[in-house]
């Protein structure tokens, strides 16, 4: 199914970006506002994206609202991640191997 999503978006690279960060003290209201700002930025850059949810199968916590964004270079993805105070992003290039890119 995932390969079909990539093919349907003529995609050779993508970023999976979540804003929730358990290392800050932001309220849920502030986090929701930041997610709204992130989505507005994605739309303004005219990248195709879909909503997602980051979950850890062996942890008992709510999923993290996320975006799967198509077409970002690794540099662009890193800049967006830094702008939104991410510790890391998941980026995938044309080799289709997801990479954890540490930003801090």
Q: Give the domain range for residue 61.
A: 2-102
Segment 10-50, tens digit of pLDDT: 556 777 777 666 556 778 788 888 889 989 999 999 988 88
DSSP-derived letter for residue 24 is: S
The CA-CA-CA angle for residues 67, 42, 12, to 5°, reads: 70
Task: State the pTM of this model.
Answer: 0.74
Tell me how many domains the chain contains: 1
Q: What pLDDT sits at residue 63?
A: 73
Q: Is the pLDDT of residue 91 over 60?
A: yes
Sign of the dihedral defined by the CA atoms of residues 77, 82, 84, 85, in that order: positive
CATH of the domain at 75: 3.30.70
Q: What pLDDT sits at residue 3?
A: 54
Average pLDDT, the chain: 79
Coil vs helix vs strand at 15: strand
């Amino acid at each position: 199914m995932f390969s079909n999503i990539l093919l349907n978006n003529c995609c050779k690279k993508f970023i999976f970006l979540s804003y929730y960060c358990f290392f800050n003290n932001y309220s849920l209201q502030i986090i929701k506002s930041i997610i709204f700002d992130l989505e507005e930025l994605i739309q303004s850059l005219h990248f195709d994206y879909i909503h997602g949810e980051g979950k850890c199968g062996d942890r008992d916590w709510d999923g993290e609202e996320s975006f799967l964004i198509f077409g970002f270079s690794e540099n662009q993805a890193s800049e967006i991640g830094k702008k939104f105070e991410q510790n890391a992003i998941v980026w995938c290039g044309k080799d289709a191997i997801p990479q954890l890119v540490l930003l801090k």
